[in-house]
Amino acid sequence: MIGTSLIVGYQNQPRSAPPTLCPATPHHPIFLKITPRNFCAANMGKPPNLYAFKNVDELAPSLRAYVLDAQNTAIERHNVFRVAVSGGSLPKTLAQALLKETNGNDKPRFDKWEIFYADERAVPLDHEDSNHRLVKEELLNKIPAELGSPKVYPIDTKYLDDVQELADQYEKTLVSVFAARDSVKLPLFDLLLLGCGPDGHTCSLFPGSDLLREEDAWVLSISDSPKPPPKRITISLPVAQAGLKIAFVATGGGKKEIMKQIFDSDEGHQLPCGLVNHKGEGRVSWFVDYPAIEGVAFPSRRGSL
């Protein structure tokens, strides 16, 4: 029903087959859509999905359908829906999609949701910079009782003075959920709901950061974030790339330059969002409005999934 970012997960998902590379022939249908300059040149298989809408009001129903499809698939598979969410404007858009829209017969089953944070700031949970506070105010506090209550995993504020320990403790939380019975290399979320910064960062993974080279840790600490506040934790790039479904939400004309870099330039493939695109391939879906992709050459599907 749907082609292909809260974080939701499944730990026993089998590895996917190696991607099929785009053949170097102008007659191949994928080749006709994607130039050698971008995804085929990067040795990608199925490219990410780029869904564009006139505005957020038109985007919200499709985002709802996408999230609920991921929810229903996860619940059918293992009776839980594990999601990780970033901050920024994403929680507000997500709340509009899940709580205000009513398209279709499906409803959120929040009693089956387990919500994690793709990144968090090393601040108290009620601090204005806290992603948990933002998600709580925009979404959690507004969920009607009949839809159930999700299980939420915030940071442990006992460790705010030691950001490395804060990251280690959050990783232990992930291990307790995703690797309680079996040893797993990575936590496989059912869904990651991510944002895209004007510099191409996602979660708290910033361009040029040494953290992008980390291959083993699940959660990383940051003491000198280029965007305040400086102390944060974030899921690692391999975790961000491993989601069973990965959704970015990016809106507004302020995103158009970085979107052109991410989708239309070789340099953009090395940005954090581009690296998730590259590894995630067809598991990645972008939900954007028209101003955010003005001038973007990469083909988008306008108006629907």
**Structure confidence at residue 222 (pLDDT):** 97
pLDDT of residue 105: 74
In degrees, rounded to 5, the angle at the alpha carbon of residue 99 between the alpha carbons of residues 98 and 100 is 105
Confirm if 185 and 149 have CB atoms less than 8 A apart: no
pLDDT in tens, the chain (305 residues): 444 334 344 333 433 333 333 333 333 322 223 343 444 444 447 899 999 999 999 999 999 999 999 999 999 999 999 999 999 999 999 999 999 877 667 899 999 999 999 999 999 999 999 999 999 999 999 999 999 999 999 999 999 999 999 999 999 999 999 997 777 899 999 999 999 999 999 999 999 999 999 999 999 999 999 999 999 999 999 999 999 999 999 999 999 999 999 999 999 999 999 999 999 999 999 999 999 999 999 999 887 77
Cβ neighbors of 303 (< 8 A, separation 6 or more) are 52, 53, 54, 58
Which pTM value belongs to this model?
0.85
**pLDDT reported for residue 172:** 97
| pLDDT value, residue 302 | 86
Neighbours of 94 (CB within 10 A): 24
Q: Which amino acid is at 227?
A: K
Quote the pLDDT of residue 101. Answer: 76
Q: What is the DSSP string of 238-296?
A: HHHH--SSEEEEE-SGGGHHHHHHHHH-TGGGGSHHHHHHHHHGGGEEEEEEGGGGTT-
CA distance 257 to 241: 23
Q: What is the CA radius of gyration of the chain?
A: 18
What percent of the residues of the chain are helix, what percent strand, and what percent coil, each to the nearest 5?
40, 15, 45
How, if at all, do strands 113-117 and 246-250 pair?
Answer: unpaired
Cβ 186 vs Cβ 238: under 8 Å: yes
Q: Which fold has domain 49-302?
A: Rossmann fold (3.40.50)
CB 67 within 8 A of CB 305: no
Query: How many whole angstroms separate alpha carbon 297 and alpha carbon 262?
Result: 11
Token pair belonging to 167? 């990251």
Helix (H) or strand (E) holding 207: none
Give the DSSP letter of residue 172: H
Strand partners, 117: 85
